[in-house]
Structure 1
Amino acid sequence: MKPQNFEVKNEKIRTAFQTLKQEHPERLQQRLNLSWSNWGFGIESLEESAARLEKAGIRYIELHGNHYGPDLGYKVDETLKVLGDHGITVAGVCGMFGNDNDLSSNRAIQRQAAIDYLKREVPFTAAVGGSYILVVPGAVGRPDKYDDVEFERSAATLRSVADLFTQHNVKAAIEPIRSAEVSLVRSVADAKAYIEAVDHPGVQHINADIYHMQVEESHIGEALVNAGEQLINLHLADSNRLALGWGAMDLDTIIMALYVIGFNQAGHYCTPEPLGPGGAPYPAMYGKPDKKTLDDMVLQTARYFREREEELLA
């Protein structure tokens, strides 16, 4: 029987992975770095979050970029102390961009707020040892465009502050998000075009998210291969935006694609961010966490991810 189109693409990635496995087994010795994005844990303390990750064997964290004002957000020394007590290292920071700090806004005050936010968040990222910060070109939760020039306006606004990234040795990772949540930059191809438009050495990387990719890409594995060396972080969730293994996501093809592009190296992270289905996810930041559910979700995700990885590498 003739295979379906996605099966043909799956097989192409599987063949490339098997060739790598046979001809260069040394490139598979290093396992993928498993991190976790903590902003979906709601209002619980960083200490509680770190303890949960330690129990699950997760050694990296993507911190909630919560410096919404000069007196708000994590403090450097306190953060490093809490994480250090649990053997956890900062991978990067999840930049949060909503209507109040929108790089693409047609209101200058909102663009200025986005600039000021980055002026707080990028130095913090460097101070806690993070290698990247996620940047969303438009407000999450606003799927309707302002006008026909918001792409150019966003790129120009980010370019105006992009020296921050090179000064602090922090990589800006542009995140494509599904069209139900944003008005621009929804795919890996869009992110590449945006990076080209910004045209700055500090803005050269991509944060992909497989939940968004299942809507916006024709094939997730193929899109990851196309992202190639620009991919620095990958958000993970199953097809229902819950824990890995609780849905129908083809995790094997994703893992094989990551090994094919050499993603199993220092400074590159697989970062679960299961937030549940729905529209704008930002209300999760303020929710009262169900600790039992979060514990189960983290343990299940870590266990299932490593299980599938070892099945492929065995």
Structure 2
Amino acid sequence: MSVQNYIIKNERIRNVFLELKQSGKFNGQQRLNFSWSNWGFGLESLEDTAKRLQKAGIRYIELHGNHYGGDLGYKVKETLAVLDEHDIKVSGVCGMFSVDNDLSSNRAVHRQAAIDYLKREIEFTEAVGGSYLLVVPGAVGRAARYDDMEFDRSVETLRLVADLFVKHGVKAAIEPIRSAEVSFVHSIADAQKYIRTVDHPGIRHINADIYHMQAEEAHIGESLLAAGEQLVNLHLADSNRCALGEGSLDLDTVIMALYVLGYNREGRFVTPEPLGPGGDPYPAMYGKPDKALLDHMVIQSAAYFREREEALLSQPGHS
């Protein structure tokens, strides 16, 4: 009996992975850098978050980009003190873009808010040692289009701060998001088109998200390979947007594709962001944290990811 198309694609990636392991070019000692995105933890203290991540053996954090105003958000000195105490470094910052700070808005005041927000977050990202800042071209939670010019307005607005990414040594990581949550830039190919249109050395990278990719990509593994060197961070959640290992996600193919890319090196991260099912996840940032649930989610995801990674790396390559 013939196999399904996605299995054929999976096997192609597996074969390349196994051949790479057999070659002299494979770095099997360096594991993928495992981080965690904390904005879904709601109104939890950074101290409590850092304790949880340290307990789970997680050495990196993607911080909530919570500088929504000049007086708001994490303070650099206090943030670094907490993270240093728990041996955690900042991988990057998760930029948050709602209708209030929408790069593509048809209201100038909202585009200006996006510019001001990015200025604050770029400086903060550099100050805490983060390597990337996630940028969403259009507001999350707004699936309906404004008009036919929102792509152009977003590009024009982002260009106004593009030099700052270069100045501060921060990678702008464009994130494609499923069409149920945003009105444009839904796929890796869309993000690449957006980056080409911005056409600036400060805007060159991609933050992919497995949950969104399930809805928008023909095959997750092939799309990760298509992202190539542009991929700087990968958000993870299982098929139900819950902890890894609690859904039907083919995590093995994801891991193998990343190793084929040579993604197991400094400055590249895999970052769980399990937010649960639903349309607009942003309300989670203001929620009351359920510590038992968060503990389970983090420990389960980290343990399952490392288990699958070790299982794949222990397989012999092709003879």
Contact 2:37 2:62 in 1 (8 A): yes
Contact 1:28 1:259 in 2 (8 A): no
Instruction: Map residues 277-292 of structure 1 onto 2, 5 A cutoff.
Output: 277-292=277-292
Write the distance in 2 (CA, Å) between the matches of 1:252 and 1:141.
30
Identify the residue that residue 317 of structure 2 maps to in structure 1.
none
Write the distance in 1 (CA, Å) between the matches of 2:3 and 2:261.
25
Identify the residue that residue 144 of structure 2 maps to in structure 1.
144
Instruction: Map residues 53-202 of structure 1 onto 2, 5 A cutoff.
Output: 53-202=53-202
Write the distance in 2 (CA, Å) between the matches of 1:24 and 1:174.
33
Contact 1:238 1:246 in 2 (8 A): yes
Write the distance in 2 (CA, Å) between the matches of 1:194 and 1:27.
33
Write the distance in 1 (CA, Å) between the matches of 2:25 and 2:168.
36
| 2:219 corresponds to 1:219 | yes
How far is 1:152 from its partner?
1.0
For 1:234, what is the secondary structure of its paired residue?
strand
Write the distance in 2 (CA, Å) between the matches of 1:256 and 1:217.
17
Contact 1:34 1:58 in 2 (8 A): yes
| 2:274 corresponds to 1:274 | yes
Write the distance in 1 (CA, Å) between the matches of 2:24 and 2:48.
41
Identify the residue that residue 262 of structure 1 maps to in structure 2.
262
Q: Where in structure 1 are there 5+ consecutive unaligned residues?
A: none
How far is 1:296 from its partner?
0.5
How far is 1:29 from its partner?
1.8
TM-score, L = length of structure 1: 0.99
Contact 2:93 2:125 in 1 (8 A): yes
Cα distance per residue 1:79-112 (max 9 Å; x no partner): 0000000000000000000000000001110000
Cα distance per residue 1:30-82 (max 9 Å; x no partner): 10000000000000100000000000000000000000000000000000000
How far is 1:25 from its partner?
5.9
Q: Which amino acid aligns with 2:205?
A: H
TM-score, L = length of structure 2: 0.98
Identify the residue that residue 232 of structure 1 maps to in structure 2.
232
Instruction: Map residues 10-21 of structure 1 onto 2, 5 A cutoff.
Output: 10-21=10-21
Write the distance in 1 (CA, Å) between the matches of 2:301 and 2:90.
19
Cα distance per residue 1:120-147 (max 9 Å; x no partner): 0100000000000000000000001100
For 2:35, what is the secondary structure of its paired residue?
coil
Contact 1:44 1:288 in 2 (8 A): yes
How far is 1:28 from its partner?
2.2
Q: Which amino acid aligns with 1:287?
A: G
For 1:28, what is the secondary structure of its paired residue?
coil
Write the distance in 1 (CA, Å) between the matches of 2:14 and 2:127.
40
Contact 2:16 2:260 in 1 (8 A): yes
Identify the residue that residue 22 of structure 2 maps to in structure 1.
22
Contact 2:33 2:264 in 1 (8 A): yes
Contact 2:20 2:26 in 1 (8 A): no
The share of aligned pairs that are identical, in percent, is: 73
Write the distance in 2 (CA, Å) between the matches of 1:29 and 1:80.
29
| 2:46 corresponds to 1:46 | yes
Q: How many residues align?
A: 314
Identify the residue that residue 208 of structure 2 maps to in structure 1.
208
Cα distance per residue 1:191-239 (max 9 Å; x no partner): 0000001100000000000000000000000000000000000000000
Write the distance in 1 (CA, Å) between the matches of 2:28 and 2:264.
8
Q: Where in structure 2 are there 5+ consecutive unaligned residues?
A: 315-319
For 1:62, what is the secondary structure of its paired residue?
strand
How far is 1:160 from its partner?
1.2
Write the distance in 1 (CA, Å) between the matches of 2:277 and 2:79.
30
